[in-house]
Structure 1
Amino acid sequence: MTDKTIFPDLKNTSVFITGGGSGIGASLTEGFLQQGAKVAFVGREDASDFVSEISNKTGNTPLFLPCDITDTQKLKEAMAQASNRHGTLQVLVNNAANDQRHSTLEVDEDFWDWSQAVNLKAYFFACQTAIEGMRAIGGGSIINMTSISYMMGNAGYPAYTTANSGINGMTRSLAREFGADKIRINALAPGWVLTQKQLDQWATPEALSAHLDRQCMKEHLTPSDIIDPVLFLASQSSRMITGQSLVVDGGVVVSG
């Protein structure tokens, strides 16, 4: 990141990101650190090397808290630790997700429950926990990462797309409920962002070519393309925007 957009009000802001040590989440952690924010993030895998690397790069050290977000109590405890270290959370980014491919007929109850726990349940309880503190300090911003997958009607991961759609419904309801508390809650729906996981597992030349044909803009998305839109939704630059789903996909789907 060289020519970064500056959002002055994000400096010293207490930010919490789920899945902030890899993929899109790692880029978001870097983006907030570059703004001078106080960032805490959770993830299942050890992120010590990432913390060291990003601290050297930005001159700002994030707080890494190991956590499986499907354990609601552990997630709440991690958020409390972040608040104790950095002050009451002012920004929450629900980013962690798992788009493991699966077919409808192979899904059993255990897989369904796991997928919803990762991709929807954790989002709700993170919102619930953050909202309590945000109400006490007079406001905040929550960004729920979803996906255009459900808008496209994609097959191949129905439990995941169900959760994506649920995130949007939840976002709208919570925005309505807590708008009077000056808590803004929005969703951000990326297109196919070429993280290392996507490149390793699903980004075949044929699939990439077919998806690019659907985009208005003929350039693949990278994690860095998601940073500024999230920073915008976190900052006071978007102070009257809430209950919305912002699509960042190079022009595949049309919202509104």
Structure 2
Amino acid sequence: MKLNAQFNDLKGQSVFITGGGSGIGAWLTEGFVAQGAKVAFVQRSDATELCDRLEAEYGNRPLFIACDITNVDALLAAIREARAAHGPITVLVNNAASDNRHSLHEYSVEDWDRAININLRPHFFTAQEVARDMRDAGHGSIINFSSISYMMGNEGYPAYVASKSAITGLTRGLARELGKDNIRVNAVMPGWVLTDRQKELWVTDEALKAHIDRQCLKEEIAPLDIVEPTLFLASSASRMMTSQALVVDGGVVFTG
């Protein structure tokens, strides 16, 4: 991984990432490993191969814990396992999500609950669990992955759009509540990041061209483009940033 910046204060920090074994999450795991952080991550699918590669390349093996994040008890147990292995957690990255497409009329109550239980509920309970570590340490950074999907008013996955909007609200509420303990809470708002999953399921030449035409920067957004903004929010380089939504979308939506 070729990074343009080094965040030296991340070395040795205990980092916990949800969905850190595939897609953007795997890139985030590698980014923190490359900084010398002690990284633990949860993933449903086996991520041993990723851990083997990172250990060989960086001499720093992340801790992979198999977990379905819809099971809150299992998720909290994974955080405690990470704490036991790496020490109190000072950086939390809530990355895991499911953007499966669906319409309004085909969705059941069970479908809705599952979407929320993947895309929103874990963000609350992971923050609840790690806040004590961060308070005791005197600092901490929680980074919640949202999306520009709700800012664009996208159709085709309303449960996902609703949950991503709620993540921004949760981020701001937690930033206010936890700020007195020097815990920062920010959101990352990726644009259309071309992961393998996106390419396999939804990217077409026509759709991609139309989207890039909307961007100020006329380039595809790669997973690597999300890594350094996340490292920045985790680092003390952003020490006075909290309650913010950091948009990384090539200039599709505008804030301020």
- Aligned length, in residue pairs: 256
Q: How many angstroms apart in 1 are the aligned matches of 2:120 and 2:224? A: 24
Matched, 1:107 2:107: yes
- In structure 2, the partner of 1:165 is 165
- In structure 2, the partner of 1:37 is 37
- In structure 1, the partner of 2:83 is 83
1:182-201 paired onto structure 2 within 5 Å: 182-201=182-201
- Post-superposition shift, 1:3? 4.3
Q: Which amino acid aligns with 2:25?
A: G
- In structure 2, the partner of 1:70 is 70
Equivalent residues of 2:3, 2:228 under 8 A apart: no
Q: How many angstroms apart in 2 are the aligned matches of 1:241 and 1:90? A: 16
Matched, 1:217 2:217: yes
Q: Which amino acid aligns with 1:169?
A: G
TM-score normalised to structure 1 length: 0.99
- In structure 2, the partner of 1:28 is 28
Runs of 4+ with >4 A deviation: none
- In structure 2, the partner of 1:231 is 231
Q: Which amino acid aligns with 2:82?
A: A
Q: How many angstroms apart in 1 are the aligned matches of 2:65 and 2:57? A: 20
Q: Which amino acid aligns with 1:167?
A: I
Q: Which amino acid aligns with 1:142?
A: I
Equivalent residues of 2:13, 2:91 under 8 A apart: yes
- In structure 1, the partner of 2:52 is 52
- Post-superposition shift, 1:161? 0.4
- In structure 2, the partner of 1:123 is 123
**Identity fraction in percent:** 57
Gap runs ≥5 in structure 2: none
1:1-12 paired onto structure 2 within 5 Å: 1-12=1-12
Q: How many angstroms apart in 2 are the aligned matches of 1:5 and 1:111? A: 41
Q: How many angstroms apart in 2 are the aligned matches of 1:168 and 1:50? A: 30
- Post-superposition shift, 1:4? 3.5
TM-score normalised to structure 2 length: 0.99
Q: Deviations over 1:4-31 (max 9, x none)?
A: 4111100000000000011100000000
